[in-house]
Chain A
């Protein structure tokens, strides 16, 4: 934001513009040059001391011009023509300054070049304030001003915005920082959210992601998850409304999973990893707050399950004997993607005696029912399949042979590889009504 948008409406003069600050040795060094340029009509803006570099410099201690010009380094010399930037040099560089200024013999006696210092607009605290000041207008959500005696967390609870756990207050600063996690525009519609069929924008997802506790880099994953969940195939309305106790389970593949730190190892289905705990929760808050899906209203689950607060994990692609789940489901190799599955509670599959894939599959078959299922194969169990050269589809076929699944129901058996390095267990999550008349797992690529 800001860079290259100067001129015209911002009221900047055309011609040569220099931006400097006293607290920069290079700026101090080039004071004679600035004086030469000022004499040629250059506008000199000062960020910290209105008397620097000389009387007549333009006070930019509010950093409005520096921000509008997107200045990152001081000194910066620019040329603007009819409001458009036609050239820029960051730091002192005699040859380039001379070329830009159309002058010669600048700064006699000075070194030929010297790097500059950071612009005050890049100071982290100031940058946050400037961002808030200049970008707040890009947010269109209604502002809710709390009363002076209202506790933020209690106020959000009282307004029905939470899932029962505390949420992070979605201030403008936090939401703007969250939106920095994606290149998508805040007003872009991501999906239409059941049950009220409300179009949700990137901004509204970001607000709920802040509340869920997400970091900005999680946002692209959250957006893909919202998109996947709101498809007709996944049937979020049904998943929400059913008396059965399923909820959206997100499995993340590709570089994004690793980049944002989604756990694929020890205790991946449990607590302790921020990404795992908050990405699925962000979706559920979107469903609650935007879609209007709340327990006891459209959500009629007889029991629900603890994972309905939000469940997200990554596949352990490095350790896996198989291609990534998303790739097996049609995503391009190496792509980041989210697969959403309507899953019930987690059930352990214990087999500490099997020494062959055939023996282990018999145990799996006793735990995988006739409907949809997500089978998470642990490293200790996965080793048997790797050593025997079994592909994912070999495992699926062997399971099918032992526990036939009604062909008419187009069942989906998802097999993922994840878990702590020790433990001769795998995990099964039972699915809901299978096939197009129920919920079909959906994989969506993550877009930055």
Chain B
């Protein structure tokens, strides 16, 4: 602040924060496994056309290698996966592959 009234600064504006402030919870990703041997792989179909084509192929290739695969599907691609589905995948699978088809 200068002493001269001609150069006196206006008070600092104080604004109200328009954001959620808290910020969403973030979790670090698990590191990629070096191998899928002995792990269970979830294949998640988000219900977009031809997603199943891709996942069918992945499943058969994994089966050839003896990897355990479980299939899941979202009821609609237009909404986030329901909580129950997310929990089921988390409980039963070590890794998950999601088919973002279009």
Contacts and interface: CB of A to CB of B under 8 A. Distances in A.
Interface stretch (B6-14, B27-35, B51-59): B6-14
Nearest to B11: A148
Interface string B1-33: 000000001001111111111101000000000
Contact of B18 (A146, A235, A285, A439): A285
A171 B18 contact: no
A196 B15 contact: no
B20 A196 contact: yes
A143 B13 CA distance: 10
Given A289-B18, A290-B20, A235 B13 contact: no
Interface in A262-293: 285, 289-292
Contact of B16 (A147, A207, A237): A207
Contacts of A292: 20, 24
Nearest to A194: B80
Contact of A437 (B20, B75, B80): B75
B7 to A, nearest CB: 12
A53 interface: no
Contacts of B19: 161, 289-290
A340 B102 CA distance: 27
Contact of B21 (A142, A175, A238, A433): A142
Contacts of A238: 78-79
A117 to B, nearest CB: 32
Given A148-B9, A148-B12, A196-B24, A142 B17 contact: yes
**Secondary structure call for the B interface:** loop
Nearest to A147: B12
A402 interface: no
B87 interface: no
B18 A211 contact: yes
Nearest to B80: A237
A237 B79 contact: yes
Contacts of A155: 15
Contacts of A285: 18
B76 interface: yes
Interface in B62-83: 75-76, 78-80
A146 B12 contact: yes
B2 to A, nearest CB: 12
Contacts of A432: 78
A171 B20 contact: no
Given A147-B12, A148-B12, A242-B78, A141 B20 contact: no
Chain A: number of interface residues, binned into ranges: 35 or more
A213 interface: no
A152 interface: yes
Interface string A123-154: 00000000000000001011111111000100
A143 to B, nearest CB: 5
B21 A141 contact: yes
A204 interface: yes
A347 to B, nearest CB: 23
A415 B18 CA distance: 35
Contacts of A291: 20
B75 to A, nearest CB: 7
B15 A171 contact: yes
Given A238-B79, A242-B78, A152 B20 contact: no
B3 to A, nearest CB: 16
A324 B39 CA distance: 59
A321 B20 CA distance: 44
Interface of A: 139, 141-148, 152, 155-156, 161, 169-172, 175, 196, 198, 204, 207-208, 211, 235, 237-238, 242-243, 285, 289-292, 432-433, 437-439
26 contacts: A141-B16, A141-B18, A142-B21, A144-B14, A144-B16, A145-B12, A146-B15, A152-B13, A156-B15, A169-B13, A171-B14, A171-B16, A172-B14, A175-B16, A196-B24, A198-B22, A207-B17, A207-B18, A211-B18, A237-B80, A243-B102, A290-B18, A290-B19, A292-B20, A433-B78, A439-B78
